[in-house]
Structure 1
Amino acid sequence: MFNDLTSVKEYLATRRSGKPRDMVSPGPDQITLQQILEMATRTPDHGKLFPWRLIVIQDRKTFAALLETAFVRANTDARQAQIDAIIAPAFMAPTLVALVFAPQASAKIPIWEQQMSVGAVGMNLLHAAHAHGFVGSWITGWACYDPNIAEALCTGDEKLAGFFYIGSAANALEERPRPDPTDIIRHWP
C-alpha cells in the first residue's frame, strides 16, 4: 500500500517493462497471480461491458506447438532455425497471460471506448505485476494477428490485445527513450 504521495510518485517512476527473454523465476504463485489479474480488471469500463478476457497460458508446450503450426501454415518454406525462434517466446518468463479484446454489442458504447478499456486492463496488469514486485512486458507481434492463434484463443469477434510475460528480472531494467513533454502536451485554449 502507498503510505504517501511520494510513494506513488516513486512507484510510477520505477515501473519499467522487462524483456521476456530476461525474466526468470520466481514468478507469481497462483494466489498472487489471481490478485494481479483481479487488479488488472479494475479499470474504466463505460457501460460495465467488460470487453476483455484474460487467459493464463499454463501448458507452454501446447502453446509452442500452436505457434509452430500457425507459423508453418503461413510460411510453408520455414526453416527449423526460424521455427525455433518463433516458438522460443512460449517458454519465456515464468508466467504468460493473453489479453483478449472481447467487444460487446452496445447501442451506447462505441467500440473505440471498449478498445480503450482493454488497453487500460493491459496497463493495470503491468502495474499490478510491478506492485507485487515482478517485472512485466506486453508483447503483440505476429502471433496476435495470426488467424490460427486467434481461432485457438478467441471466439466470435474477439481479438488478441497482447501477451503479458511476468517474472523476476535477471538483469537491471533499462530506461527506454521517453517523449519530450513539450512535444506531446498542449494547453487549450
Structure 2
Amino acid sequence: MPQPNPAAMDFLLTRRSRPAKTLQAPAPDRAALRTLLTAAARTPDHGKLEPWRFIVLRGAALDRVASEAVACGTRLGKSDEDIEKARAAFANSPLCVAVIEVHKDSPKIPAIEQTYSAGAVCLALLNAALASGWGANWLSGWASHDRAFCASALGLSPQERVAGFIHIGTERSVPPERPRPSLDALTEWVDT
C-alpha cells in the first residue's frame, strides 16, 4: 500500500520558481547550501556515473563571471540589451550554483541519459532551495552554450558543459501564478 507524503505532494503541486532578478541577499551559507547540494545529488543517475558537478559562485566570482559574459556577448555581436541581461544575472545574484554536465565515456550509459541526469540535478537543486524557503531560479542563456565563455569563466574542460545556473537567495516579492499546461492537451491514455 502506498505511503503518501501530503506535504511533499502539496509542495510539488504549488512550487513556483522565483525570477532571478527578484532575488537578493542573504543567500544560504555554506552549511545550508551543502544540504541543498546533498538533496540535488540524490538525483536518478543511471549507472552511478555522477555525470555532473557543482561550481558555487559568490561575491567576486559572480562579478568576474558577469564581466566574462559581457566580453562573450561583445565577441558574439549580441545586442546591448542581451549583454546587460546576461551581465545582471550574475552581477545581481546573491549566489549561483553552476550545474556542470560532465560527459563520461560508458559502454552502457548513452550521452543523452547523462544529459537527462544533469538536468534532473538542476531541478532537484531548484526544488530543494524552494522547499527550504529560499527563492530560486534556473537559468542558462546564450553564454552558457559558448565554449570560450565556459572555458574562461568557469574553467570547463571539453567534455563538460553548463546544464544550468541555479540562482538562490531571498525573494523580494512573490511572483504571480502563471498559466499552467493543459494536461488534457498533453496526455494520451493507452490501455490496450
Give your verdict on TM over 0.5.
yes
Q: Paired residue for 2:189?
A: 187
Q: Paired residue for 1:129?
A: 129
User: 1:17-32, aligned counterparts within 5 Å?
Assistant: 17-32=17-32
C-alpha contact (below 8 Å) 2:72/2:149 kept by paired residues: yes
Q: Name the amino acid aligned to 2:97.
A: V
Q: Paired residue for 2:179?
A: 177
Q: Which runs of 5+ in 1 are unaligned?
A: none
C-alpha contact (below 8 Å) 1:16/1:135 kept by paired residues: no
Q: Name the amino acid aligned to 1:62.
A: R
Q: Name the amino acid aligned to 1:13.
A: L
Q: Which runs of 5+ in 2 are unaligned?
A: none
Per-residue deviation at 1:89? 1.2
So what's the TM-score if we normalise by structure 2?
A: 0.88
- Fraction of identical pairs, as percent: 35
Q: Paired residue for 1:6?
A: 6
- Classify the secondary structure of the residue corresponding to 2:66: helix
User: 1:9-88, aligned counterparts within 5 Å?
Assistant: 9-58=9-58, 59-75=61-77, 83-88=83-88
- Classify the secondary structure of the residue corresponding to 1:27: coil
Q: Name the amino acid aligned to 1:68.
A: V
1:181–1:29 distance in 2 versus 1, CA, 3 Å: same
Let me know the Cα RMSD of the aligned residues.
Answer: 1.8
CA distance in 1, matches of 2:113, 2:19: 29
So what's the TM-score if we normalise by structure 1?
A: 0.89
Greater than 2 Å deviation, 4+ residue runs = 81-86
Aligned residues: 184
